[in-house]
Structure 1
Amino acid sequence: MPDRTLLLRWAADTWRSFEAMTDPDTGLPTDSIAVSLDPDTRSGYTSPTDIGGLLWCTVAARDLGLVDAEQAHDRLARLLTTLAGMEVHEQSGMFFNWYDDRTGALLHRMPDSGHRIEQFLSSVDNGWLAAGLMVVAAAEPRLGEAARAVLDPMHFGVFHDPTAGPDGPGGRLTGGFWAEDPGQETRRASFVDGLAEVLHTRHHYDLLDSEPRIASYVGIAHGQIPPEHYAALDAPIRHYRGRDVVATFGGSMFEALMPTIFVPEAAWAPDTWGVNEARTVALQREYALDEKGYGYWGFSPSACPGEGYSVFGVPPIATETHAYPSELDGEVVVTPHASAMALMVEPEAAADNLARLERDLGAYGPGGFIDAVDTRTGRHAGRHLSLDQSMVLGALANVLADDCLRRWFATPDVEAVLRPVVASRRMPLT
């Protein structure tokens, strides 16, 4: 186990970034903030994923003793009150992609660019929000009714296309749907009896080892998606450095490990998920240190040094080998949230990598780890991203507080449904 005092310091500083990102009136988190934590640098918008992240991180902060129980309750109550009044897709209960973090109002143009927003409802984003609501409902019984009042109308069957994928039961999740014609190719369909047709994405999520499985887990746990869906997802194998691994789309840590903050896949399926998660982390590390000689490791979508946002991964363990590079314009972009999640798998190696990112590259500020750093020049991203900070604190909480978020999410009722589904899933690993 890495030094507990060090991990607690990282957790406390990460929580400080959430305190700075949270609007005091609505309780909503902003999507990002400058490393200085100046409230004037809040992005002005938030998403279902951002909100879900603040929900589970508030519980995590309480369980770590970073905020007392009454303060956590009050923060959560304020946020749930705001959520209850926000505009949603009425029939499905799903949340739109972007809201004003100061008012909770649905945004029609992005505050920073002025670009018009096509009103989209994402399967993955709503999955993360639902995960946060499930954590709160279990962890704070006084707010269980309020959390369920937001969660219960969310029907994940709206995303489940039973006709997609191979023949037989299973189906696939669409990327989401639009509330109005987006001016691009769509598919008009309804997958739930009694729900009107909506304009779905033409693409589906096919891969097992990818972040959309959080939406699959939530939908299966609530009886809205059939378990056969999980069994039918693709698990393509890549052979790298003498080992088989189930590939993600881009070879990134976020795709592989973020769902494990909530679902103890390795414990429920040690011979499949347990093996695969260990190999994923090991191959990320070996790719960076042994094959490329970068000196540091941890690749996942993140902010870019300087400005902007991009996707990063390890191509040899990706299905699309050119989709998520490890280098961009000559920079090797490592993001600390990737190593933070690896603490749940390889705690000593991950803690060492994080400590060196802080000590050697200065990728640290008052709000914890800076979102990304170029390992060649030490140039940093200038912001904290709410999503990425929620992965950092969520993973730290599991390591420090006996898998607290996994326990709050995977209650006995949820485990009774999900564990057999996860345990029975085969992976062709050798």
Structure 2
Amino acid sequence: MTAFSRRALLTGGTALAATAALPATLSLSPTAAAAPRQAGGRPDRAVLQRWARRTWASLVAMTDERTGLSADNIDGPLDAPNRSGYTSPTNIGGYLWSTIVARDLGLISRGEASRRLSQTLDTLSRMRRHGPSGMFYNWYDERTAEVLTSWPTDGKTVYPFLSSVDNGWLAAAFVVLGNAAEPSIGRRALRLLEPMDFRAYYNPTPRPDLPVGLLRGGFWPEKPPTPSDTVEANYLGRGPNVFYTNFHYDTTVSETRIASYLGIARGQIPPGHFFGTWRTFPSGCDWSWQESRPVGRTRTYLGVDVFEGAYEYRGFRVVPGWGGSMFEALMPNVFVPEERWAPHSWGVNHPLMVRAHREHGLDEAKYGFWGFSPASDPTLDQGYREYGVDAVGLNPDGYFSDVEKTNVDRGFGDCREAKNPNPTYGDGVVTPHAAFLAMMHEPGPAYANLRKLEREFDCTSDGGFFDAIAVGSGKVARRFLSLDQAMIMGALGNLLGRGLVQRAFSRGAIERAIKPLIGMERFGAGS
């Protein structure tokens, strides 16, 4: 094990104690406490606790009783769930950190938490991995823990693949357990983490103009018949060559930065890698395919020139995500206290991204609700789609906030005229997990948004909020996704448990490596 040792992970104390008695008044995590106050009132702790209890119930229903692996999704009643038949490292990791949250919020006993964690770790220890990298495959059968070779829904062939970001979320869960589970379980989690080597994804020469490397999306151990444009290489330097995706994760406001943080903290990826990703694409006319022209300046960090661009939106400047979704912006923030460690970058941008979602939903599109993130499609049976605020996304094809996929294009200054600067929006699709993530920064408005959803739509059950609501038509995606429910549990753990997920993750080597790294930067975001 490198600098990211068991000793470093456990520095500062033993496992976090369960919250035996919660105070009657809500004590928000440092994330929420540091956020600008907005109208909306103080969240009711009893309601948050009820939402946590029901969300946890859906995760229990998703989890196979023999393997302890959480299915990707379920529909149907909780007492007879229709499980998806497949799971991923992210889904498994989400169940693990949600179990810690459930224990510390008093939803389950310490004994039950230990039994559940032990069962899942037992299964993980037997599961097939990619030997040279120590990484887990992307799709397993949650009932048997076997790597999937055919898709359970249609029988199509699955070519085993290993995703960098999905392994990042499972590794993050192992870190949480290493610091927050009882010591014997924590040690087992860290033994599972030990062989995971993110160098397997790190391309040291992704572009001629970039002096640092980027992470590939993932790789196939054997070349699949499709896609044909894979890249054969071996960044790890041991074992046989593998076949990488032809793309890199190259944007900063992205959920993929969790893998970057872990690789840097473990000494597997150089720190300068963090500055190799785009804040925005450049502002020159050669980049005028963007739907908005960024403003900003270039600064140099660790020898890397960084264009600290931002998009102007409704009178403020925000560093966009790829699709403008809450998931991209805030899921890593469930684990890393970015707004405190990097007050001039993430500490500015996170609240502004939340504000962009709120103002888009309430003032620009006039849906009456807000919070947009990839989720189930309420207009399709079992469908899935990306949702976001297109104006704060880099993707020219857009993550859209409505059923109609209304695209906004504000032009590119003198380089290109606007095509659709002031669109009329249709049936907005809001995703509850996005509002729960936002509650870490705007607790009052996000809470009010969720309460209004609960009152006006049939969008909750004994498993918590269903996955997405088309607020114009009233259509509801009546299923639960493991990832989205686990994000809700993580956010509620930070809100109700005084930052318990952040405290469990961001200690030892992670704090020593990541806090000074992200703290040196100034984004171009601001009011």
Q: Normalising by structure 1, what TM-score?
A: 0.98
Match of 1:328 in 2: 403
Report the alpha carbon displacement of residue 378 of structure 1 after superposing the two structures with TM: 1.3
Q: Does 1:60 align with 2:135?
A: no
Report the Cα distance in structure 2 between the residues aligned to 1:410 and 1:196, rounded to whole angstroms. Answer: 34
Report the alpha carbon displacement of residue 294 of structure 1 after superposing the two structures with TM: 0.4
By relative contact order (CA 8 Å, sep 6+), the higher-ranking structure is 2
Q: Does 1:10 align with 2:47?
A: no
Q: Which runs of 5+ in 1 are unaligned?
A: none
Report the Cα distance in structure 2 between the residues aligned to 1:155 and 1:127, rounded to whole angstroms. Answer: 10
Match of 1:182 in 2: 224
Match of 1:154 in 2: 196
| Inter-CA distance 295–321: structure 2 relative to 1 (3 Å threshold) | farther
Report the alpha carbon displacement of residue 35 of structure 1 after superposing the two structures with TM: 4.9
Report the Cα distance in structure 2 between the residues aligned to 1:35 and 1:356, rounded to whole angstroms. Answer: 24
Contact 1:47 1:98 in 2 (8 A): yes
State the secondary structure of the residue aligned to 1:373: strand
Report the Cα distance in structure 1 between the residues aligned to 2:257 and 2:207, rounded to whole angstroms. Answer: 15
May I ask how many residue pairs the two structures share in their alignment?
430
Contact 2:61 2:81 in 1 (8 A): no
Q: Does 1:212 align with 2:256?
A: yes
State the secondary structure of the residue aligned to 2:270: coil
Runs of 4+ in 1 over 6 A off after TM superposition: none
Contact 1:35 1:365 in 2 (8 A): no
Q: Does 1:388 align with 2:484?
A: yes
Residue by residue over 1:263-285, the C-alpha shift from the partner in whole angstroms, topping out at 9 and shown as x without a partner, is 10001111210110000000111
- Given candidates 463, 469, 489, the residue that maps to 1:373 is 469
Match of 2:316 in 1: 243
Percent identity over the alignment is 48
Report the Cα distance in structure 1 between the residues aligned to 2:79 and 2:212, rounded to whole angstroms. Answer: 47
| Inter-CA distance 56–266: structure 2 relative to 1 (3 Å threshold) | same
Match of 2:38 in 1: none
| Inter-CA distance 297–319: structure 2 relative to 1 (3 Å threshold) | same
Aligned residue type for 2:519: A
Aligned residue type for 1:346: E
- Given candidates 121, 142, 161, the residue that maps to 1:120 is 161
Report the Cα distance in structure 2 between the residues aligned to 1:322 and 1:167, rounded to whole angstroms. Answer: 26
Aligned residue type for 1:144: G
Report the Cα distance in structure 1 between the residues aligned to 2:166 and 2:311, rounded to whole angstroms. Answer: 28
Report the Cα distance in structure 1 between the residues aligned to 2:220 and 2:487, rounded to whole angstroms. Answer: 27
Report the Cα distance in structure 1 between the residues aligned to 2:85 and 2:104, rounded to whole angstroms. Answer: 29
Match of 1:313 in 2: 388
Residue by residue over 1:99-153, the C-alpha shift from the partner in whole angstroms, topping out at 9 and shown as x without a partner, is 0111101111111121111211001111111011110111112212211121111
Report the Cα distance in structure 2 between the residues aligned to 1:158 and 1:424, rounded to whole angstroms. Answer: 27
Contact 2:69 2:92 in 1 (8 A): yes
- Given candidates 340, 361, 372, the residue that maps to 2:457 is 361
Report the Cα distance in structure 2 between the residues aligned to 1:150 and 1:255, rounded to whole angstroms. Answer: 26
Q: Normalising by structure 2, what TM-score?
A: 0.80
- Given candidates 95, 105, 113, the residue that maps to 2:136 is 95
Match of 1:145 in 2: 187
Contact 2:344 2:519 in 1 (8 A): no
Report the Cα distance in structure 2 between the residues aligned to 1:194 and 1:101, rounded to whole angstroms. Answer: 30
- Given candidates 258, 268, 284, the residue that maps to 1:224 is 268
Aligned residue type for 1:216: S
Residue by residue over 1:388-421, the C-alpha shift from the partner in whole angstroms, topping out at 9 and shown as x without a partner, is 0001111011000011001111113320111011
Match of 1:292 in 2: 365
Report the alpha carbon displacement of residue 422 of structure 1 after superposing the two structures with TM: 1.3
Report the alpha carbon displacement of residue 383 of structure 1 after superposing the two structures with TM: 0.6
State the secondary structure of the residue aligned to 2:131: coil
Q: How does 1:67-86 map to 2 (within 5 A)?
A: 67-86=108-127
Report the Cα distance in structure 2 between the residues aligned to 1:35 and 1:265, rounded to whole angstroms. Answer: 38
Contact 1:312 1:325 in 2 (8 A): yes
Residue by residue over 1:226-264, the C-alpha shift from the partner in whole angstroms, topping out at 9 and shown as x without a partner, is 110002221012110111111100000000000001010
Greater shift in the superposed pair: 327-336 or 267-276: 327-336
Match of 2:518 in 1: 422
Report the alpha carbon displacement of residue 424 of structure 1 after superposing the two structures with TM: 1.5
Report the Cα distance in structure 2 between the residues aligned to 1:405 and 1:246, rounded to whole angstroms. Answer: 25
Contact 2:266 2:509 in 1 (8 A): no
State the secondary structure of the residue aligned to 1:11: helix
State the secondary structure of the residue aligned to 2:480: strand
Match of 1:171 in 2: 213
Contact 1:21 1:39 in 2 (8 A): no
Report the Cα distance in structure 1 between the residues aligned to 2:123 and 2:393, rounded to whole angstroms. Answer: 39
Match of 1:271 in 2: 344
Report the Cα distance in structure 2 between the residues aligned to 1:59 and 1:166, rounded to whole angstroms. Answer: 44
Q: Does 1:42 align with 2:83?
A: yes
Contact 1:263 1:410 in 2 (8 A): yes
Report the Cα distance in structure 1 between the residues aligned to 2:136 and 2:279, rounded to whole angstroms. Answer: 29
Report the Cα distance in structure 2 between the residues aligned to 1:328 and 1:379, rounded to whole angstroms. Answer: 11
Residue by residue over 1:60-86, the C-alpha shift from the partner in whole angstroms, topping out at 9 and shown as x without a partner, is 111111111111011000000000100
Report the Cα distance in structure 2 between the residues aligned to 1:35 and 1:11, rounded to whole angstroms. Answer: 20
Report the Cα distance in structure 1 between the residues aligned to 2:80 and 2:48, rounded to whole angstroms. Answer: 26
Contact 2:335 2:506 in 1 (8 A): yes
Report the alpha carbon displacement of residue 38 of structure 1 after superposing the two structures with TM: 4.2
State the secondary structure of the residue aligned to 2:66: coil
Aligned residue type for 1:142: S
Greater shift in the superposed pair: 419-428 or 342-351: 419-428
Aligned residue type for 2:317: D
**Higher Rg:** 2
Greater shift in the superposed pair: 418-427 or 164-173: 164-173
